[in-house]
Amino acid sequence: METPIPEEAHDEWVVIKEEVQEWIQKISHMLSEKDIPSRIALAPGCSAGMCGCTFLLLVAKKNVQAAHVNIDEYYMELHPEIRESQELVDQGRCPACGHHVGKDARECPDCGLRLIIEEA
C-alpha cells in the first residue's frame, strides 16, 4: 500500500522574515548558498514596490527551522556584538559595561542600563 503524500507537502511556503529589500535579498542569497531555496514577495499593502516598504522572505515549510538557524548565525556574523552581549547577559553581566549584576537585576547599578524591559 502506498501512503499518499499530501499536495501541500511539496510546496507549502511560509513567511519567515519581513525586512527591507536589501536585507531580504542578502538573506535569500545566503540561504541559497546553504541549499535552502527561498522566495521573495512584496509585503501586502504595497502595490508598486517603490515606496521603500518591506518585503517578505518565504521558505518551504520543511526548511523553516534550518532557515531560522542560518539567519540567526548570519546576523551574529554581521553583528558580533550581539553574540558578545548575549554572552555577557548569560553570565549575569551588564552588556554595556561588563559589571556583574546577577541574573535578576532590573538595571545595572554601575551604568544604569535597563536590563529587563518590564511589560506594562
> Which residues of the chain form contacts with Zn ion (CB under 5 A)?
94, 96-97, 99, 108, 110-111, 113
CB contact set of 70 (below 8 Å; sequence gap of 6+): 30, 31, 34, 36
Nearer to Zn ion, 67 or 115 (CB): 115
Contact 108, 115 (CB under 8 A): yes
Nearer to Zn ion, 69 or 97 (CB): 97
Nearer to Zn ion, 68 or 100 (CB): 100
Q: How far is the CB of 18 from Zn ion (least distance, A)?
A: 32
Nearer to Zn ion, 37 or 92 (CB): 92
Q: How far is the CB of 97 from Zn ion (least distance, A)?
A: 3
Nearest-angstrom CA–CA distance, 40 and 32: 12
Q: How far is the CB of 114 from Zn ion (least distance, A)?
A: 10
Strands (E), the chain: 13-19, 38-42, 55-60
> For residue 6, how many C-alpha atoms fall within 13 Å in the half-sphere facing its CB?
3
Q: How far is the CB of 115 from Zn ion (least distance, A)?
A: 8
Residue carrying the nine cell digits 519567515: 16
